[in-house]
Amino acid sequence: MDTSLKPGMVIRLFEDTDRRAYVELLEKKGFICEVHNDRIVITKRYKPTYDLKRLGEILRTAREKKGISEEEMTQRIWICKQTLRGWESGRYKPGDYTLKLYCKEVGLDMKKIIKEVKSY
């Protein structure tokens, strides 16, 4: 399926098409659809939300297991202590680049973590 899908698009279906599989795939990508006899209409897209408390717990636990202090981590990934504490307490989400740096420092798989804390 094309990655440039947008609300308002229509997907034409052939008789032997598995409508349910298409709808499940679109829902996984965060779309809401209307299913008709010969087509699926994409009506809306939800932006993902993140369980920030869970993300913070994962990050803090991994850092502590590695024996890295807050001070060390802030120096390694060039952020201030307030920012680190905000992430680890679940007040806000780190940007993708800094999250990648953080994960690299503590040996976490960023894609796996995002998948675990992300929902639509």
One domain, residues 80 and 111: yes
How many domains is the chain built from? 2
Residue 32's pLDDT is 86
Co-location of 53 and 36 in the same domain? no
φ, ψ for residue 88, nearest 5 deg: -70, -20
**Apex CA 14: angle with CA 12 and CA 17, to 5°?**
105
Supply the pLDDT for residue 21.
Answer: 85
pLDDT digits (tens, 9 = 90+) for 11-54: 888 877 788 888 888 887 778 888 888 888 988 887 778 899 99
Measured between alpha carbons, how far is 21 from 23 in angstroms, rounded to an integer? 6
Is residue 110 within 8 Å of 103, Cβ to Cβ? yes
Residue 90 lies in a domain: yes
Domain span holding position 26: 10-45
Is residue 5 included in any domain, yes or no?
Answer: no
Nearest to 14, CA basis, from 38, 33, 34, 36: 38
Q: Clarify whether residues 95 and 113 are in a common domain.
A: yes
pLDDT tens column, 62-78 = 999 999 999 999 999 99
